[in-house]
Amino acid sequence: MPVLLVLERAPALSQLLAAADTVGLGCTLQIPDGGTDPRIAGIGSLSSAGGTEISFLSNPRLHGQLDDCRAAAVILRPEDWKSFRARHPDAVSWAAVLCAQPYLMYALLAQWFDRHRLAGLPRGIHPSAVVADDAVLEEGVSVGPLAVIEAGAHLEAGVRVGAGCVIGPGCFVGRDSLLHAHVTLYHGVTIGARAILHAGVVLGADGFGFAPDPRTPGAWAKIAQLGGVCIGDDVEIGANTTVDRGAVEDTVLGNGVKLDNLIMIGHNCRIGDHTAMAACVGVAGSTTMGQRCVIGGAAMFGGHLTLGDDVHISGGTAVTSDILKAGRYTGVFPVAEHTAWQHNAAVIGQLAQLRRRVRAAERQGAASLTGQPADNKQDTQ
């Protein structure tokens, strides 16, 4: 489950594959002997899909679930299909979609069903929405209840603005972007085409910028944040994630960036194309990340850092220095029973002292071999 369409409106499997954006995947359709091209009304798992749904096999460990699958069709690799047929040479009840990337094929079909769902939603400007006289709303723009579109904002064709959103002065939202309920864009935010912003996203709030003010002990003078936020094409930002505006230059998210829920991107950061971050990541200001980086949940980044392309950071890792070489990096202290953890933490706190003792022993050993007196100078490293 779920069934997403009534059967009378469901496309045939071959039509669905042609309508979805599957160019380049090179799939092959195998219809059971004596069968017909089935109508596909939804997508389900191997264990739950019914006779009007399509499913997929991407994890070889689930191969056994094919035995009892009741789906109308299954997406799977050619080698998995061959293995299944070797175990079940008799007739098969479901159509096979043979594809080298079944998980990607599933994702693309799910996108098709979601586009179909969105197309069925009401369009137009809700009577309770407030739209400035000089705002530009191109063809097919929809604005939900109690949304506010402020002066000079420009929404390209096909944009959907959910209930209670605020689009600030001078903002630009690219074509076919979707803003779910209660998204807030401060002034001058630019968003590319086909963006998806989930509920509670805030783009363009002031960055955390303050200068010490010695005129009053302990006081801080606010630094006005005069830059903006620039979001590329095909970016998705999860619920309650925030991206601060730059102090002078823009905070930038490149094309295809994917941010999960509850992420904080500080001012002046630059996030490279197709970088993805899981939930609760915190990125301090003026950090630059390269392209195709993958950041695990709750990772933390100190400010003014640089990450190269293709850097993968494990969840919970604190990054405090530049990482320029591609690869996976982990800095999480392993979980343990609390008393054991305390003992291990105490040992780690003594590593510097242990290092000095080892170096002193090495010098003493070298002196005994050479017959020279040991250099007992203090090791300060």
Give the residue with greater pLDDT, 253 vs 341: 253
Of residues 121, 122, 109, the one with CA closest to residue 49: 109
Task: Indicate if the pLDDT at residue 374 is higher than 80.
Answer: no
Task: Indicate if the pLDDT at residue 301 is higher than 60.
Answer: yes
For residue 349, name the pLDDT band (cuts at 50, 70, 90): confident
pTM of the entire predicted model: 0.88
**Measured distance CA(186)–CA(172) in Å, rounded:** 11
Pick left, alpha or beta for residue 138 (phi over 0 → left; psi -120 to 50 → alpha; otherwise beta). beta
Task: Find out whether 45 and 68 touch, Cβ atoms under 8 Å.
Answer: no
> For 130-329, which CATH class?
mainly beta
Task: Indicate if the pLDDT at residue 51 is higher than 70.
Answer: yes
Q: Which two tokens stand for residue 11?
A: 């496309």
Fold (topology level) of 7-119? 3.40.1390
Which tens digit of pLDDT belongs to each residue from 176-222?
999 999 999 999 999 999 999 999 999 999 999 999 999 999 999 99
Average pLDDT of the segment spanning 237-261: 98
Of residues 180, 204, 323, 299, the one with CA closest to residue 253: 204
Q: Give CA torsion, residues 102, 48, 180, 256, to 10 deg.
A: -10
Strand bridging mode 251-253 / 229-231: parallel
Query: Which residues share a beta bridge with 59?
Result: none
Question: How high is the pLDDT of residue 205?
Answer: 98
Of residues 146, 200, 204, the one with CA closest to residue 173: 204
> Choosing from 180, 182, 198, 267, which is the catalytic residue?
267
Task: Indicate if the pLDDT at residue 156 is higher than 70.
Answer: yes
Task: Find out whether 239 and 256 touch, Cβ atoms under 8 Å.
Answer: no
Which tens digit of pLDDT belongs to each residue from 93-121?
999 999 999 999 999 999 999 998 888 88
Of residues 334, 335, 329, the one with CA closest to residue 301: 329
The percent of residues above 70 in pLDDT, for the chain, comes to: 96
The percent of residues above 90 in pLDDT, for the chain, comes to: 77
Task: Find out whether 283 and 275 touch, Cβ atoms under 8 Å.
Answer: no
Q: How many C-beta atoms surround the C-beta of residue 297 within 10 A?
A: 16
Residue ranges of domains in the chain: 7-119, 130-329, 339-370
Q: How far is CA 227 from CA 210, 252, 273, 312, in A?
A: 15, 10, 21, 29
Maximum C-alpha span of the chain: 95
Q: How far apart are the first and last CA of the chain?
A: 62
Task: Indicate if the pLDDT at residue 259 is higher than 90.
Answer: yes
DSSP 8-state assignment for residue 193: T
Give the residue carrying structure tokens 């392209």. 291
User: Quick one: how far is CA 95 from the chain centroid?
Assistant: 32
Active site residue 267: yes
- Does a cis peptide bond (omega within 30 degrees of 0) precede residue 2? yes
Question: How high is the pLDDT of residue 102?
Answer: 95
